[in-house]
C-alpha cells in the first residue's frame, strides 16, 4: 500500500497510526466493505420502493390496528443504544490495542452489551410480528403487508446476521487475541452495525411513523 | 417418508424416463440433451482418470490466481455457449419449417427460448467478460492479484451454482417457460406451480450474488491496487471499462436480487408482491427487473468496447485517439444506463410524457457511443494497420454493431416502438448488438490475450475463418428477422401462418447453422493451436507490440505477474519504455513475493450452494437447511483458519526474470510484417513507422 502512515485515506473509522501495518491494511478492507454496503443499500432501496407503491387494503387491518408504537419506540431505543456501544467497542480497540495497553476484557464487554441490545431489538420485533399475524395481518394477506413484512424482515435478518458476526468476533478475540484479522473484522462489523441503524431510521420514519400519521 | 426425502421429485421428473413413457420427437430431443449430462460427465471423469489429471484439476479448482480463475470463467462460458448455440439452432430451424406448426411442441419451444436467453446472458456473456476482466485487469494495472482473492473464488463458485441449476434442469424436471425476463403473473404460483420458475429464480439469483461480489472486488482492485504512478487518466481503456462495469454490477445487481427474492416469496410463501389480486402489482417486478436489466446490457457491452479500444491502438501501432473522450463516453454511458429502463415497456400504460422522457434519454446514449466509434476509426487513421484476427472482429463490429445501434435508436422512439415491440425486429436488434458487440469483443479479446497467459498464439488461419463464419452466420441468421419483424411476426412464437415469411425464416435457419459451424471452429482453433503450440510459442510475452503493462511480462505470465512491481509515468508505459530502450534492462533488487495459497473455500461454497438451490427447487427442505447451515459454518470456520501464504523466494524470481530480460536484450525480435509467423517469439522490433 502506498498510503503514507498517519494519514487516513480510507473512509470510516480508522485505527490510528500506532497500529502500524494493520492501519494500512484497513484501507483496502474497509473500502471494500463500504462498496458492498452501497450495494446492499440499493437492495433495501428496492424494498422501500416497492413498499411505497403499495396501499393498505380495506379488507385487512391497517397500520393503526397493527402497529404497537410503544414496542417500536423500544426497538428504536435498543438499536440506537447498541450503535453507541458498538462505537465504544471500536474506540476501545483503537486506543487500547495500538501497542499500548491491551484490555481485551473491556472490548468484549462492549461487544456483548451490543449483542444484548441487538437481541432485545429482535425480541421486540419478533413479538410484534407474532401479534401482527394474530391480529389478522400476516404477509400473505395483501400486497401492502407482504411489502411491510419483507422490508422490516429483511432488516431483521441483517440484524440477526450482525449479531452472529459480533459473537464470532468475540470468540475470535478471546481465542486468537486482538490481531490484525479481528481488528479489520471489527471495523467492518461496526460499519455494518451503524448502517443497520441508518436503515432502521428510514424504516421507522417512513413505514411506522408514515403509517400512523 | 418418500416425500420428506425427495420433496416433489418423483421418478417421472427425470427427463430420460419421460422418453421411455412417451416417445416422440420432442421427448427424444430433450432426452438427447439430458443424456449429454451423464454421458458428458462420465467422459470427463474417464478422461481425468486416463490422463491422471485429478491433481492438476484440484490445483486449478482451489487456485486463487486471478489468471486461473479467469480461465475457469471462460471455460464455463464456452460450455454454456455450446448449449446456447444448440438451442438457438433448434429454434431457428423449427421456425424455418414452422409454417402451420414446426416439429417442436409449444411447451418445449417456450423452455428453449427461456433457457437460451437466461443462459446466454447470465452464463455465457457475463462469465466471458468477467473472465477476461479477471485475467487482464490486474496485469494492466500492474498488480499481483485482485484485492480479495478468496472472494473472487467464491464469486466463481456462485456463478457455477447458477450454471449447475440451469444444467441440471435439463435432466431433472423442466425450466421456466416465462422467457429470460420471467414476468409474473405468468411465472407466479397460480399459473405456473411447477419447478421451472423456481429453477429460474434460484439460478439467476445465486449467480447474481456472485456477480455483485465480483463488482465489489474489481472496483476495489482498480481503485486501490494500481501501480505507482498510474493515475486514473493513465489507466488503459479496458481497465476503465472494467471499472465502469464493476460500478454497474454493484448498483444494478441488487434490483435483480430483490425481484428474485420477492418472486420467490410469492411462489414459496404465498406473498402478494406480483399477484393479480390482493394488492399485488406485477409492474413492480417489471420495473425492478429492468432497473437491473438495462444496466446489464451495458455490463455486457462496455468491456467489449474496452477490448476494441486496446485492439484499435495496438494493431494500428498508434496511441489511442481521443483517450479522454473515450473515458468520458464510457462514464456517460454508465450513468445514462440507469435512466432508461422504462424503454423496455413503453406499451405498458405510462403517460406519453413519461414515455417521451425515457425515449429521449435512450436516444442520448447514441451520442457517447458514436463518439467511441469515431475515436476508434480515428485511431486507425494513418496508423500501421495490420489485418489480424482481432482487427477483423473490429471491422465486423464497426459495420454490424452500427446497424444494431441504429435499430436501437429506432426502437427508442416510443411511437415506433408501439409498432415494433414484441416483434422479431426486437430480437434482431438485441442479437445485433450482443453478437457483433459483446461476442466479437470477447472473441477478439481471447485471441489477443491468449498468448499472454498460455504462452502461445492461436493459429491464424483457423481464427480468421472463425471470424468470418461468425460474421456471415450472424448476417444470415438475424438481418432477415428485421424484415419479418416489420411484417408483423411476433417473437417467441412456435409456429406461424403467413407463407410470405417462409423464405426469410429459411435464410435465418441456414444462418443459425453457420453460427453452429462458427462455434465448432472456435473449438477447432483451440484444439489445432494446442497441438501445434511448439511452433506458436511467444516466450518473450509481447507478440503484438503491445502498449500497456500486461505485455511487460514473459509468456506464460508467472504466477506473481511482475517480478518487481512496475512504476508508470505515462499512458502507454510499455511503449515508452521500449522506445527508450529501457524495457528489458536488468533489475538490481528482487524481493520475496508473498502470494495467497490455494484454498477449498470457493469449491465448498459452490457444492453447498448447489445443494441449497436444488433442495429449494424440489422442496427437499432437509437438504436446503443442511446446505444453508453448512454455508454459514464454512464462512465462520474460514474466519478462524489461519491465513495461508505462499512465499516465492527472491532467488527463484530473480532467476526467471533475469533469464527473460537477458534473452530479450540479446534477441532481435520481429517487425510487424512477421507478426503472424512462426518467427514471432513475442519480442517486437521497431517498425518502419516509429511509434508516435
- B311-333 pLDDT, tens digit per residue, is 999 999 999 999 999 999 999 99
Work out how many CB contacts closer than 8 A connect A with B: 104
Q: CA of B252, closest CA in chain A: separation in Å?
A: 8
Average of per-residue pLDDT across A52-70: 89
pLDDT of A2 > 90? The answer is no
- Look up residue B430 and give its three cell numbers: 438485441
Q: Write the residue in B147, B215, B284 that is nearest to A28 by C-beta.
A: B147
Q: Which residues of B touch A140 (CB under 8 A)?
A: 269-272
pLDDT of B463 > 60? The answer is yes
Q: Which residue of A has its CA nearest to B273?
A: A143
Q: Is A61 on the interface with B (CB under 8 A)?
A: no
Phi, psi of B418 (to 5 degrees): -60, -35
- Of B24-38, B440-454, B542-556, the poorest mean pLDDT is in B24-38
Cα(B344)–Cα(B338) distance, integer angstroms: 13
Of A113, A117, A201, A191, whose CA–CA distance to A155 is shortest? A201
Q: Which residue of B has its CA nearest to A3?
A: B224
Cα(B404)–Cα(B320) distance, integer angstroms: 24
pLDDT value, residue B4: 84
- A68-119 pLDDT, tens digit per residue, is 999 999 999 999 999 999 999 999 998 887 766 678 899 999 999 999 999 9
Average of per-residue pLDDT across B369-384: 94
- Which of the four pLDDT bands, split at 50, 70 and 90, describes residue B176? very high
Domain architecture of chain B: domains with CATH = 53-599+644-674 (1.20.210.10)
Q: Write the residue in B147, B279, B291 that is nearest to A142 by C-beta.
A: B279
Cβ–Cβ gap A46/B272 under 8 Å: no
DSSP A25-59: HHHHHHHHHHHHHHHHHHHHHHHHHHHHH----TT
> What does each C-alpha distance from B489 to A98, B408, B433, B478 come to in angstroms?
71, 18, 20, 14
Cβ–Cβ gap A172/B640 under 8 Å: yes
Instruction: Domain ranges for chain A, please list them.
Output: 17-55+65-212
Cβ–Cβ gap B217/A46 under 8 Å: no
The CATH class given to the A17-55+65-212 domain equals mainly alpha
What percent of chain A clears pLDDT 90, i.e. is strictly above it?
A: 70
- B478-490 pLDDT, tens digit per residue, is 999 999 999 999 9
CB atoms within 10 A of CB B255: 25
Cβ–Cβ gap A39/B291 under 8 Å: no
pLDDT value, residue A112: 97
- Which of the four pLDDT bands, split at 50, 70 and 90, describes residue B81? very high
Q: CA of A141, closest CA in chain B: separation in Å?
A: 7
Return the DSSP state at B176. Answer: -
Cα(B632)–Cα(B569) distance, integer angstroms: 46
**Of how many residues is chain A composed?**
213
pLDDT value, residue B264: 97
Tell me the torsion sign for CA atoms B392, B395, B400, B402.
positive
Q: Note the pTM of the prediction, 2 decimals.
A: 0.96
Q: CA of B221, closest CA in chain A: separation in Å?
A: 8
DSSP B363-421: HHHHHHHHHHHHHHHHHHTTS-----HHHHHHHHHHHHHHHHHHHHHHHHSHHHHHHHT
- B399-452 pLDDT, tens digit per residue, is 999 999 999 999 999 999 999 999 999 999 999 999 999 999 999 999 999 999
Q: Could you check whether the bond before residue B556 is cis, i.e. omega within 30 degrees of 0? A: yes
Average of per-residue pLDDT across B643-650: 90
Q: Is A43 on the interface with B (CB under 8 A)?
A: yes
Cβ–Cβ gap B255/A42 under 8 Å: yes
Burial of residue A157 (number of CB atoms within 10 Å: 0-12, 13-18, 19+): exposed
Cα(B64)–Cα(B603) distance, integer angstroms: 11
Q: CA of A58, closest CA in chain B: separation in Å?
A: 10
**Of how many residues is chain B composed?**
692
Q: Is B44 on the interface with A (CB under 8 A)?
A: no
Mean pLDDT of chain B: 94
State the ipTM, two decimals: 0.94
Average of per-residue pLDDT across B656-680: 91
H/E stretch holding A74: helix A69-96
Of A46, A34, A154, whose CA–CA distance to B253 is shortest? A46
Amino acid at each position: 500500500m502506498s498510503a503514507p502512515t498517519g494519514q487516513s485515506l480510507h473512509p470510516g473509522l480508522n485505527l490510528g497510526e500506532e497500529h502500524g501495518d494493520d492501519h494500512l491494511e484497513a484501507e483496502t478492507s474497509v473500502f471494500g466493505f463500504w462498496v458492498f454496503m452501497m450495494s446492499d443499500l440499493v437492495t433495501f432501496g428496492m424494498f422501500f420502493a416497492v413498499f411505497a407503491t403499495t396501499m393498505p387494503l380495506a379488507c385487512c387491518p391497517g397500520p393503526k390496528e397493527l402497529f404497537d408504537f410503544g414496542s417500536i419506540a423500544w426497538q428504536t431505543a435498543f438499536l440506537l443504544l447498541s450503535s453507541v456501544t458498538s462505537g465504544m467497542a471500536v474506540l476501545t480497540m483503537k486506543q487500547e490495542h495500538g501497542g499500548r495497553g491491551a484490555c481485551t476484557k473491556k472490548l468484549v464487554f462492549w461487544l456483548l452489551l451490543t449483542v444484548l441490545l441487538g437481541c432485545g431489538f429482535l425480541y421486540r420485533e419478533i413479538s410484534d410480528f407474532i401479534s401482527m399475524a394474530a391480529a389478522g395481518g400476516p404477509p400473505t394477506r395483501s400486497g401492502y403487508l407482504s411489502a411491510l413484512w419483507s422490508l422490516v424482515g429483511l432488516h431483521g435478518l441483517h440484524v440477526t446476521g450482525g449479531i452472529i458476526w459480533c459473537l464470532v468476533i468475540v470468540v475470535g478475540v478471546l481465542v486468537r487475541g486482538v490481531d490484525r484479522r479481528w481488528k479489520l473484522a471489527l471495523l467492518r462489523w461496526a460499519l455494518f452495525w451503524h448502517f443497520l441503524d441508518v436503515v432502521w431510521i428510514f424504516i421507522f420514519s417512513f413505514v411506522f411513523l408514515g403509517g400512523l400519521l | 417418508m418418500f416425500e420428506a426425502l425427495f420433496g416433489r421429485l418423483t421418478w417421472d421428473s427425470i427427463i430420460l424416463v419421460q422418453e421411455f413413457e412417451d416417445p416422440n420427437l420432442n421427448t427424444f430431443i430433450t432426452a438427447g440433451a439430458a443424456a449429454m449430462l451423464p454421458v458428458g460427465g462420465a467422459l470427463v471423469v474417464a478422461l481425468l482418470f486416463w490422463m491422471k489429471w485429478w491433481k492438476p484439476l484440484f490445483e486449478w479448482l482451489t487456485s486463487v490466481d486471478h489468471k486461473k480463475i479467469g480461465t475457469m470463467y471462460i471455460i464455463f462460458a464456452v460450455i454454456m455457449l455450446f448449449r446456447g448455440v444448440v438451442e438457438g439452432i433448434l429454434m431457428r430451424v423449427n421456425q424455418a419449417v414452422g409454417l402451420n406448426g414446426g416439429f417442436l411442441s409449444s411447451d418445449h419451444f417456450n423452455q428453449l427460448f427461456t433457457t437460451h436467453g437466461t443462459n446466454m446472458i447470465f452464463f455465457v456473456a457475463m462469465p466471458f467478460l468477467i473472465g477476461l476482466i479477471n485475467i487482464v485487469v490486474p496485469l494492466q494495472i500492474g498488480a499481483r492479484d485482485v484485492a480479495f482473492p478468496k472472494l473472487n473464488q467464491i464469486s466463481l463458485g456462485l456463478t457455477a451454482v447458477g450454471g449447475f441449476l440451469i444444467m441440471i434442469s435439463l435432466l431433472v424436471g423442466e425450466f421456466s417457460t416465462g422467457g429470460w425476463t420471467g414476468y409474473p403473473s405468468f411465472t407466479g404460483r397460480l399459473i405456473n406451480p411447477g419447478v421451472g420458475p423456481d429453477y429460474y429464480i434460484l439460478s439467476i439469483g445465486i449467480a447474481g450474488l456472485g456477480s455483485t461480489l465480483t463488482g465489489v472486488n474489481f472496483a476495489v482492485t482498480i481503485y486501490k491496487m494500481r501501480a505507482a504512478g498510474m493515475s486514473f487518466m493513465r489507466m488503459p481503456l479496458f481497465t476503465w471499462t472494467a471499472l465502469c462495469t464493476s460500478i454497474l454490477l454493484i448498483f444494478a445487481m441488487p434490483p435483480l436480487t430483490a425481484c428474485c427474492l420477492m418472486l420467490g416469496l410469492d411462489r414459496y410463501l404465498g406473498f402478494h408482491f406480483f399477484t393479480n389480486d390482493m394488492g399485488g402489482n406485477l409492474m413492480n417486478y417489471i420495473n425492478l427487473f429492468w432497473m437491473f436489466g438495462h444496466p446489464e446490457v451495458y455490463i455486457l457491452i462496455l468491456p467489449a468496447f474496452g477490448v476494441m479500444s486496446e485492439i484499435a491502438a495496438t494493431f494500428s501501432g498508434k496511441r489511442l485517439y481521443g483517450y479522454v473522450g473515450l473515458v468520458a463516453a464510457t462514464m456517460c454511458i454508465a450513468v445514462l444506463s440507469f435512466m432508461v429502463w422504462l424503454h423496455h415497456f413503453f406499451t405498458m400504460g405510462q403517460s406519453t410524457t413519461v414515455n417521451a422522457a425515457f425515449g429521449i434519454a435512450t436516444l442520448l446514449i447514441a451520442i457517447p457511443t458514436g463518439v467511441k466509434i469515431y475515436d476508434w476509426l480515428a485511431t486507425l487513421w494513418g496508423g500501421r494497420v495490420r489485418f489480424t484476427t482481432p482487427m477483423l472482429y473490429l471491422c465486423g463490429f464497426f459495420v454490424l454493431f452500427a446497424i444494431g445501434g441504429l435499430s436501437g435508436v429506432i426502437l427508442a422512439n416510443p411511437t415506433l416502438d408501439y409498432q415494433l415491440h414484441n416483434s422479431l425486429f426486437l430480437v434482431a436488434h438485441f442479437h445485433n448488438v450482443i453478437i457483433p458487440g459483446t461476442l466479437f469483443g470477447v472473441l477478439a479479446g481471447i485471441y489477443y490475450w491468449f498468448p499472454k497467459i498460455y504462452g502461445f498464439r492461436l493459429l491464424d488461419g483457423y481464427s480468421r475463418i472463425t471470424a468470418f463464419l461468425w460474421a456471415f452466420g450472424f448476417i444470415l441468421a438475424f438481418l432477415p428477422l428485421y424484415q419479418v419483424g416489420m411484417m408483423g411476426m411476433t417473437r417467441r412464437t412456435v409456429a406461424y401462418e403467413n407463407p410470405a415469411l417462409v423464405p426469410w425464416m429459411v435464410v435465418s435457419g441456414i444462418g443459425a447453422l453457420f453460427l453452429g459451424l462458427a462455434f465448432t471452429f472456435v473449438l477447432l482453433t483451440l484444439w489445432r493451436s494446442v497441438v501445434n503450440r511448439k511452433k506458436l510459442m511467444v516466450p518473450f510475452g509481447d507478440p503484438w507490440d503491445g502498449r500497456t503493462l500486461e505485455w511487460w511480462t514473459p509468456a506464460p505470465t508467472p504466477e506473481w505477474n511482475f517480478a518487481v512491481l512496475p512504476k508508470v509515468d505515462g499512458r502507454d508505459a510499455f511503449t515508452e519504455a521500449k522506445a527508450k530502450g529501457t524495457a528489458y534492462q536488468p533489475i538490481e533488487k528482487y524481493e520475496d513475493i508473498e502470494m495467497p495459497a490455494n484454498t477449498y473455500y470457493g469449491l465448498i461454497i459452490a457444492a453447498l450452494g448447489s445443494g441449497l438451490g436444488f433442495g429449494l427447487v424440489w422442496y427437499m427442505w432437509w437438504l436446503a437447511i443442511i446446505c444453508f447451515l453448512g454455508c454459514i459454518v464454512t464462512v465462520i470456520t474460514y474466519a478462524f483458519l489461519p491465513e495461508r501464504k505462499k512465499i516465492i523466494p527472491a532467488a527463484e524470481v530473480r532467476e526467471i526474470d533475469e533469464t527473460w530480460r537477458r534473452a530479450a536484450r540479446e534477441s532481435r525480435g520481429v517487425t510487424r510484417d512477421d507478426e503472424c509467423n512462426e518467427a514471432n517469439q513475442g519480442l517486437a522490433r521497431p517498425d518502419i513507422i516509429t511509434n508516435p
